[in-house]
């Protein structure tokens, strides 16, 4: 019999891209970085993502958003467009195009206005996706250092990021307007992803300039990058051209609803991020670094040996974004930022610095034992937001409730030997949280000192009383009727709360009882959170103790 060589069919040939095309490269995932340096994921602090450290809080019931997953979204996204128009200050929702993040809109703009034989001009160095989207459309690309109308005369599209990623610098609306007026046949795309952090918007110019498109996103100031919601603002005929070329339903129903609610009543981290951005920059300048003023949620630090510095930081679990000529740092909670500043040799030294650090009332505790690895970033004067991931769902829930009631911000990541049991994780997490409280309070000067709360949860009821004076003592009486809730052995809770108390150096009394163990535990953690909030509050009169300073 004749044997025939099997013919391996070749893969179909994709549409060509220019040789310069290279896909977007994400930063290395956390788990890979940890593995590379023999660290636990909890030991890594990411300053490289240009997103806020804590997630935005959905302001509508999540169940409502997930109730109709069998249906398609309403394809005109009217609610979202109306919310975006009102937020951005444009009267007509027909000026708004929505997309799955600003990235989606960049691709739609490229698809609409670029092609082989058309020229795309990029004001560089900047966000790499303009280049990628232009090359996918086979446009010719050129990079320019400044927004210069003479150089852009032949361009179909000019991309400008304002404030710019990665430098943080900004251009004035007047400069942008005169450029757009000089080139009426060129589409000028102004990416305002970071405008909330100190940029000057050009949205008011859209009414007058038919060649202007402004990009916005909910990924930055709103803390909702995971939702993938972005929008563009342009005159209605341009918006219609873009909408005609977008996919029919790019944004999921939950994303569109949560996004619209966020735009209607913005609750952002801008103030805190800007304060930390400016503090980090001042500390770096004082330590001899050179960094330009930033109007975004990051700082660019020019460095001759950027790669070496980034490597050195990475080996210590501190991730910054690296560029050939510098590193980019996105602020996190103050305690985290202090860890990075210390690693950069820009830590605080003098008494005034220490007093300033104390006033920030923030702490970062990173701890690894053979049983667990965990990181806690705590900021006492926060907004009650928590991101808690311990691997034990009910513990996450309890700490989230406690944080909400306490008004602090908490980012807690723990990985423990849960395959053995949850004992070590529960205990270590609460002990480290106690340490974080102790550190964040510092000398405890000026705090209210006492706090108490009674919290009912249906049939259950808890009382908590806290004294911050440094005489550690715990009286914890949680009257559970069973052994477990979810993955958590309830017997661990009193002991863990005791550890919290001892490590923090507080006096804590908690009593809780009821028929439903779930409620008993919830009431106890909520009451503790409320009592802590009261006790930690700063008073003008200082710590009240008949024996002098606590
Ligand atoms: N534009 C700029 C300038 C960015 O830096 C980023 C994200 N890093 C984006 C757009 C992407 O935004 P989105 O998450 O909305 O796609």
Give the CATH number for residue 468: 3.30.230.40
How remote is the CA of residue 165 from the centroid of ligand 1, in Å?
Answer: 9
101 Cβ below 6 A of ligand 1: yes
How remote is the CA of residue 144 from the centroid of ligand 1, in Å?
Answer: 20
- The residue whose two tokens read 């942008």 is 176
State yes or no: pLDDT of 191 exceeds 50. yes
State yes or no: pLDDT of 121 exceeds 60. yes
Selected residue with higher pLDDT from 369 and 529: 529
Beta-bridge mates of residue 46: 319
Residue 530 pLDDT class (50, 70, 90 cuts): very high
Virtual torsion, Cα 109, 111, 113, 117, nearest 10 deg: 140
Q: Are residues 318 and 433 in the same domain?
A: no
In 468-506, the DSSP E strands lie at: 473-479, 484-485, 488-489
- Which residue's alpha carbon is at the smallest distance from atom 10 of ligand 1? 102
* Element of type H or E holding 360: helix 351-360
Residue 61 pLDDT class (50, 70, 90 cuts): confident
Count Cβ atoms within 10 A of the Cβ of residue 147 and give its class: 0-12 exposed, 13-18 middle, 19 or more buried.
Answer: buried
Omega within 30 of 0 (cis) for the link into 125? yes
DSSP line for 95-122: GEEEESHHHHHHHHHHHHH--TT-EEEE
Residue 6 pLDDT class (50, 70, 90 cuts): low
| pLDDT tens-digit map of 531-541 | 999 999 998 65
How remote is the CA of residue 192 from the centroid of ligand 1, in Å?
Answer: 9
Q: How many domains does the chain divide into?
A: 3
Domain boundary, last residue among 209, 242, 264: 264
Among 24, 56, 126, 127, the mutation site with the greatest number of ligand 1 atoms within 8 A of its Cβ is 127
Beta-bridge mates of residue 121: 142, 158
Q: Positive or negative, the Cα torsion across 154, 101, 201, 236?
A: positive
State yes or no: pLDDT of 123 exceeds 50. yes
Q: Are residues 338 and 198 in the same domain?
A: no
Q: Are residues 117 and 224 in the same domain?
A: yes
Is 354 among the domain residues? no
Is 549 among the domain residues? no
Is 542 among the domain residues? no
Count Cβ atoms within 10 A of the Cβ of residue 488 and give its class: 0-12 exposed, 13-18 middle, 19 or more buried.
Answer: buried
Point out the ligand 1 atom lying closest to the alpha carbon of residue 106: 10
65 Cβ below 6 A of ligand 1: no
- Mean pLDDT confidence for 58-67: 84
| pLDDT tens-digit map of 287-330 | 999 999 999 999 999 999 999 999 999 999 999 999 999 999 99
Cα(217)–Cα(203) distance, integer angstroms: 14
Report the share of the chain in percent with pLDDT over 90: 83
State yes or no: pLDDT of 186 exceeds 50. yes
- Mean pLDDT confidence for 386-403: 95
Cα(126)–Cα(527) distance, integer angstroms: 48
- Mean pLDDT confidence for 450-454: 98
Q: Quote the pLDDT of residue 58.
A: 86
Domain boundary, last residue among 244, 264, 284: 264
How remote is the CA of residue 546 from the centroid of ligand 1, in Å?
Answer: 55
Residue 338's domain spans which residues?
30-52+269-343
How remote is the CA of residue 27 from the centroid of ligand 1, in Å?
Answer: 14
Q: Quote the pLDDT of residue 62.
A: 82
What pTM did the predictor assign? Answer: 0.88
Q: Are residues 530 and 500 in the same domain?
A: yes
State yes or no: pLDDT of 116 exceeds 80. yes
| pLDDT tens-digit map of 166-183 | 999 999 999 999 999 999
Q: Quote the pLDDT of residue 4.
A: 59
């Amino acid at each position: 019999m004749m044997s025939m060589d099997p013919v391996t069919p070749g893969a179909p040939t994709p549409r060509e891209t220019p040789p310069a095309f290279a896909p977007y490269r994400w930063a290395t995932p956390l788990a890979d970085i940890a593995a590379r340096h023999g660290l636990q994921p909890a030991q890594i602090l990411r300053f490289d993502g240009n997103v806020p450290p804590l997630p935005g809080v959905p302001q509508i019931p999540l169940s409502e958003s997930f109730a109709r997953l069998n249906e398609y979204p309403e394809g005109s996204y009217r609610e979202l467009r109306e919310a975006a128009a009102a937020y951005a200050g444009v009267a007509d929702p027909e000026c708004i195009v929505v997309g799955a993040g600003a990235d989606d809109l960049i691709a739609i703009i490229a698809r609409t206005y670029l092609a082989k034989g058309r020229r795309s001009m990029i004001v560089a160095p900047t966000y790499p996706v303009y280049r990628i989207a232009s090359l996918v459309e086979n446009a010719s690309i050129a990079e320019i250092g400044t927004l210069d109308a003479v150089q852009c005369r032949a361009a179909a599209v000019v991309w400008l990021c304002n404030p710019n990623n990665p430098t943080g610098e900004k251009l004035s609306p007047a400069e942008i307007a005169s450029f757009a007026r000089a080139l009426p046949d060129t589409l000028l795309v102004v990416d305002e992803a970071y405008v909330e952090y100190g940029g000057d918007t050009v949205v008011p110019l859209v009414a007058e300039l038919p060649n202007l498109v402004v990009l916005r996103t909910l990924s930055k100031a709103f803390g909702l990058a995971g939702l993938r919601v972005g929008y563009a603002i342009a005159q209605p005929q341009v918006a219609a051209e873009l909408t005609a070329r977008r996919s029919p339903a790019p944004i999921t129903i939950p994303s569109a609803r949560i996004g619209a609610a966020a735009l209607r009543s913005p609750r952002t981290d801008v103030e805190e991020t800007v304060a930390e951005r400016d503090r980090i920059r001042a500390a770096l300048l004082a330590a001899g670094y050179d960094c330009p003023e930033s109007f975004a949620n990051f700082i660019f630090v020019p460095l001759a040996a950027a790669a070496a510095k980034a490597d050195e930081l990475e080996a210590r679990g501190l991730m910054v974004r690296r560029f050939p000529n510098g590193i980019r740092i996105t602020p996190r909670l103050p305690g985290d930022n202090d860890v990075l500043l210390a690693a950069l040799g820009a830590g605080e030294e003098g008494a005034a610095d220490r007093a300033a650090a104390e006033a920030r009332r923030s702490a970062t505790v990173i701890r690894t034992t053979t049983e667990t690895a965990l990181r806690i970033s705590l900021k006492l004067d926060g907004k009650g937001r928590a991101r808690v991931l311990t691997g034990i769902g009910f513990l996450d829930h309890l700490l989230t409730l406690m944080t909400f009631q306490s008004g602090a911000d908490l980012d807690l990541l723990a990985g423990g030997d849960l395959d053995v049991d949850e004992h070590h994780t529960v205990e270590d997490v609460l002990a480290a949280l106690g340490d974080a409280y102790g550190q964040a309070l510092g000398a405890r000067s000026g705090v209210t000192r006492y706090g108490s709360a009674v919290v009912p949860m249906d049939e259950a009821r808890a009382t908590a009383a806290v004294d911050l004076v440094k005489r550690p003592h715990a009286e914890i009486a949680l009257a559970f009727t069973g052994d477990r809730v979810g993955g958590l052995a309830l017997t661990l809770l009193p002991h863990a709360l005791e550890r919290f108390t001892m490590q923090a150096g507080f006096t804590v009394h908690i009593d809780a009882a009821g028929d439903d163990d779930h409620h008993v535990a919830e009431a106890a953690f909520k009451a503790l959170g409320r009592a802590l909030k009261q006790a930690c509050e700063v008073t003008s009169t200082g710590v009240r103790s008949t024996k002098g300073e606590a």
